Chain A
């Protein structure tokens, strides 16, 4: 029992015949993800600013950011991607109006089988029972292994706390019944918080009727950031 605390706690509940402690929010009733509609994103950067306000993200670091893709005519091997200051202050118009151009908002994909969680040597990064990947910053030793492991580049090393930091999917908000800060301020509805365990959530109908894709599906990370209208050139 000393060696396996998880078993010890489970055994206590078995002996007492009680369920595990659950306050008014039941994590197991939810399975969080996000729906991102590229056809609606206008690159205003509201989400990036809101995230920095809500989560006190240091300047020049991003939990969410917006990328702009420019693909000229048939130049699919020479894609131009820019993200000035994470798209925080919007984007200047592209140098000319030829070709295809669009915005891609990015954030932690909150993978169900996340590589970052697998590599953490101390159990400082973890999945919550409702499918959010979080960092226990009091437990993180700052080895940066998770930052290397994330195939989406969604983690950064906090410059003053010296621990790994990332999107929490505004866990302090969604557990209070609010939406995330980025979804709250998105003026076009390009970002929407999705609860995949809630049958009434419109995400189910949307996923059924639209061409939705996740980033890097070949990595089988179980990513839960669903992109509508995702161009094949997006990495």
Chain B
């Protein structure tokens, strides 16, 4: 029975470990968020929080719901695949409250050249102009309509 003669200090040690372990579990239960591990090693609620962020760009389908007259013009022209908010800017607020939030008309002088100013780095097949000598200072929309920009020549279709 020599092995168990001084067993008391071992029991005390084991009890101390057990208490520490239980304390650890209790503290952990409080500190680890409830949803942690719901999908993986992260807080599952974070997904819902990020999903709930507000949007700024309404998306062209929302625009087309009301402005179908412009959409009809646009879909026949060269800008068919340019989304409304690409030029007009983020307009979710306007879509939510069209009466009070009015979008501003973009400035043609800076808008068109953003894409169409000639630049060697742009793809060759993309329509580009040297704006300084293309229109001798006239605004682009004197000749081109932004929603359907191609100028139809007489006799040609």
Contact = CB atoms under 8 A, between A and B. Distances in A.
Given A40-B123, A42-B115, A91-B121, A179 B85 contact: no
A124 B42 contact: yes
Interface string A35-48: 00001111111100
A27 B48 CA distance: 11
A189 B120 contact: no
B55 A123 contact: no
B interface, by DSSP: helix, strand, loop or mixed?
Answer: loop
Contacts, number: 139
Contact of B119 (A6, A46, A91): A91
B29 interface: yes
Contacts of B28: 2-3
Contact of B86 (A68, A103, A186): A186
Given A171-B51, A173-B55, 6 more contacts: A2-B28, A40-B123, A41-B123, A138-B46, A184-B83, A187-B82
18 contacts: A2-B25, A3-B28, A4-B37, A5-B32, A39-B123, A70-B121, A102-B121, A123-B42, A134-B50, A138-B46, A139-B43, A172-B50, A172-B55, A175-B51, A178-B59, A184-B57, A184-B59, A184-B60
| Shortest 8 CB-CB contacts between residues of A and residues of B | A5-B37, A6-B37, A126-B42, A136-B46, A172-B53, A101-B121, A185-B86, A97-B120
Interface of B: 25, 28-29, 32-33, 36-43, 46-47, 49-57, 59-60, 79, 81-83, 85-86, 89-90, 114-115, 117-123, 126
